[in-house]
Structure 1
């Protein structure tokens, strides 16, 4: 069996720590006070978005009355969670996302004005990254290569179910010049032909929809069974697993599916965009 990697171990660790705390009847606020943390830090730990030191883990285990054997198992989990994954050159704050994406069973992605990383060509990625304020110019090529490597999973033996809803600006906006954009759009059409990929476009002609100015990704994992909402900004990212967040964003995604063009009409719009490129 292959090592699931530190991102999955962080998720497993968070789930285990939550089970320990709830079984002991301990509130998140008590853990925060015990470790001199903010309560939000406890939430991030239990959602798999951060790690914990061995000393901090010992204090939680003692407070929750955990026996020696279980404490040792959790320590091993935490040790593996603290390792760095080998997901290529990416921004530090996006590393967890790339790790989860690499083992996701399903991805629901909505982007309004750009192509998501897992579908990008190298030239398109380089053109975007060259403008990013959080990326050093010397890292542009390596990060672009890592995005191409991520795309390879879509044609692997065990790809995720991928549903993507793009705004028409992501299709019509020219990134890197006509030739770069043509290659990118032709790649989109190739990916859309895969049986596990669904690609739809929200048309500008009927632009009012429930996710204006908000791009997001819903990541489903099979092991451990968990769903994470990923929101990315210019210099950081949020990972949310609360039921209220997931319910709201899943509802929005389903409404976007209805509002967007069909797969056939979306492909026709992309072909039209290719023909009108400079």
Structure 2
């Protein structure tokens, strides 16, 4: 995600550019000292289980022969959290992402149990934004922010169905940093978040 000289932002549009965008995202995750993710509607890609990722990619217009390779890459992304020098991950997930039955009840219950395991890692601060929260910028969509170990400036990564945008300009990055602070202010504590995730998982596991 390094910015080319004279290039203010980097935009990848369409399926042919997605490989380049994914490569840049993986590089950013490997090199980051801190990652902040705001995800109102879906579990963030780095935290997805195999079945959850497969359900999304399989129904999302990805060519059939590319689904499994992409699933493996997506699920493998969270291995950086167990590296010798892992990044600090702060992730704020909307309550709706816990309750949307992506892949069905069994898939979703396993995904929620996986979130609890990830939340227990010492480098992870995982919080849920409840339905009862006031307005916050998470309602505007998902974003990732990366602060690096070296002298690279922080960047913001935005992604939708067929495109990705990386913002480098300090004013843009600061706007998203402020947005993340607002989302954090309406999110539940890590302990309360874990309790809610466990409650939803138990309700799914108790449903035949």
Q: Is 1:105 aligned with 2:69?
A: no
Residue in structure 2 matched with residue 96 of structure 1 by the alignment: 24
Structure possessing the higher relative contact order (Cα contacts under 8 Å, 6 or more residues apart): 2
Aligned partners of 2:63 and 2:53: how far apart in 1?
14
Pairing 1:54-65 to 2, within 5 Å after superposition:
none
Aligned partners of 1:187 and 1:102: how far apart in 2?
21
Contact map agreement 1:107 1:219 (CA 8 A) in 2: yes
Contact map agreement 1:231 1:237 (CA 8 A) in 2: yes
Query: In the alignment, which of 152, 156, 174 is matched to residue 229 of structure 1?
Result: 156
Q: Is 1:215 aligned with 2:179?
A: no
Q: Deviations over 1:149-171 (max 9, x none)?
A: 11111112121100000000111
- Deviation of 1:191 (Å): 0.8
Residue in structure 2 matched with residue 173 of structure 1 by the alignment: 100
Contact map agreement 2:157 2:164 (CA 8 A) in 1: yes
Contact map agreement 1:94 1:236 (CA 8 A) in 2: no
- Deviation of 1:207 (Å): 4.8
RMSD: 1.7
Q: Is 1:193 aligned with 2:120?
A: yes
Gap runs ≥5 in structure 2: 12-17
SS in 1 for 2:96: helix
Bigger proportion of residues as strand: 2
Q: Is 1:163 aligned with 2:90?
A: yes
- Deviation of 1:91 (Å): 3.7
TM-score w.r.t. length of structure 2? 0.89
Structure 1 segments (4+ residues) deviating >4 Å: none
Aligned partners of 2:30 and 2:142: how far apart in 1?
20
Residue in structure 2 matched with residue 82 of structure 1 by the alignment: none
Aligned partners of 1:141 and 1:252: how far apart in 2?
34
Residue in structure 1 matched with residue 14 of structure 2 by the alignment: none
Aligned partners of 2:82 and 2:130: how far apart in 1?
28
Relative to structure 1, is the Cα distance of residues 211 and 168 closer, same or farther in structure 2, using a 3 angstrom cutoff?
A: same
Q: Deviations over 1:157-194 (max 9, x none)?
A: 12110000000011111111111111111111011111
SS in 2 for 1:175: coil
Residue in structure 1 matched with residue 71 of structure 2 by the alignment: 144
Query: In the alignment, which of 55, 60, 82 is matched to residue 132 of structure 1?
Result: 60
SS in 1 for 2:35: strand
Contact map agreement 2:93 2:127 (CA 8 A) in 1: yes
- Deviation of 1:224 (Å): 3.2
Answer with 1 or 2: which has the greater Rg.
Answer: 1
Contact map agreement 2:40 2:96 (CA 8 A) in 1: yes
